[in-house]
Amino acid sequence: MAAAGAGTGSEGKKRGASRSWILLDAAGEEQLLDADKYAIMRRVDINARDLRILDPLLSYPSTILGRERAIVLNLEHIKAIITSNEVLLRDPSDENVIPVVEELHRRLAPSSATQHDGKENLSGQHDVEGAEEDESPFEFRALEVTLEAICSFLDARTTELETDAYPALDELTSKISSRNLDRVRKLKSGMTRLTARVQKVRDELEQLLDDDDDMADLYLSRKLAGASSPVSGSGGPNWFPASPTIGSKISRASRASAATVHGNENDVEELEMLLEAYFMQVDGTLNKLTTLREYIDDTEDYINIQLDNHRNQLIQLELFLSSGTVCLSLYSLVAGVFGMNIPYTWNDGHGYIFKWGFFVPLYLSPLLLTHDTRGSSDPE
């Protein structure tokens, strides 16, 4: 019983350590994998540190790493490992990953579809087009799909934010209220987070474009062709799965790579053009967010000007009330002077003095109020 319990516990531990992956190969076929990290590391020949980047429980920035036999890709929700003949994508049931899987299946399958159509009496032009597609390495086609997906995802989030933010800012300028202020505050927080995410993707692409060696590391087919040419002219390495369809595609891709880029290992023009296109797209998304931030800053400046105006009005009202208090205190001064029990000569002719004490403050009070009101309104 104890042994059975221990076995059940170990099975549960293995089941908990395994992760869901989907595999798409060069033939466009899909396969769901429930493998642990050690099986994945053996399959794609990467170390644990690189695989840890793809752990959804850990927070890692957007990263594109080129290894000897694989490209490790961590772009937001897209966590993938690309080799020269297959793509491993993590968490395929995620709602944001499902469209990526569908697009990978559609974009990676055309070569096989072209072969089937060629068997059904298609013209030779399709064969030429299929050969041209084969000249683009498998890893670049997969990388292009993932970059297109993440750029479209970030651009869509930016468009949604713009749709909500601009009307909210316009409403805030017309009516300053706690509800509108809280709404704009939430939108600004979301914009800050989205800007940081877009900036990370842009920085990663820019870092790749600035380093030719890093781009050269992403040429998996070129490295595969260079490693296999001294040993065998047609056969692939023994670590590939034994599939005739996949093997023929790998051989064709290897020959195309050897014919096009094997002569110059530092030639990264094809990848550079690919990365530049999506770098420009991400940069455009970042420019949209920058424009939105400037609009928010302008709205904040406008609101601060309105608040300063209201503050000046309150100061003017306070000054007016203070002047009124001073005017009223003049009568208190007169009453206090006449109320003192001190022998003065005017006590005998108090009727004459009373008129002066009453009418002079009555005349000075409006004069003082008018002067203060004009003085407070002149700066405006």
319 neighbors 372 (Cβ within 8 angstroms): yes
Residue 29 has what pLDDT?
Answer: 83
Q: Report percent pLDDT > 90 for the chain.
A: 38
- Interatomic CA distance for residues 66 and 223, integer angstroms: 11
- Interatomic CA distance for residues 257 and 82, integer angstroms: 17
Residue 354 has what pLDDT?
Answer: 63
185 neighbors 168 (Cβ within 8 angstroms): no
Listed range (208-212, 221-225, 250-254, 306-310) with the worst mean pLDDT: 250-254
Of residues 243 and 57, the one with the higher pLDDT is 57
Give me the sign of the Cα torsion angle 221, 222, 226, 232.
positive
* Alpha-carbon distances, residue 330 vs 60, 309, 323, 347, 365 (angstroms): 74, 32, 11, 20, 8
Q: How confident is residue 264, by pLDDT bands cut at 50, 70 and 90?
A: low
Q: How confident is residue 336, by pLDDT bands cut at 50, 70 and 90?
A: confident
Contacts of 347 (CB under 8 A, 6+ apart): none
220 neighbors 69 (Cβ within 8 angstroms): yes
- In the chain, helix, strand, coil percent, each to 5? 70, 10, 20
- Interatomic CA distance for residues 58 and 359, integer angstroms: 84
Asked if pLDDT for residue 248 goes beyond 70, the answer is: no
Tokens representing 206 are 């820019």
* Average confidence (pLDDT) over 30-47: 88
* Alpha-carbon distances, residue 334 vs 327, 341, 352, 355, 359 (angstroms): 12, 14, 14, 11, 11
24 neighbors 89 (Cβ within 8 angstroms): yes
- Interatomic CA distance for residues 347 and 46, integer angstroms: 110
- Interatomic CA distance for residues 204 and 278, integer angstroms: 11
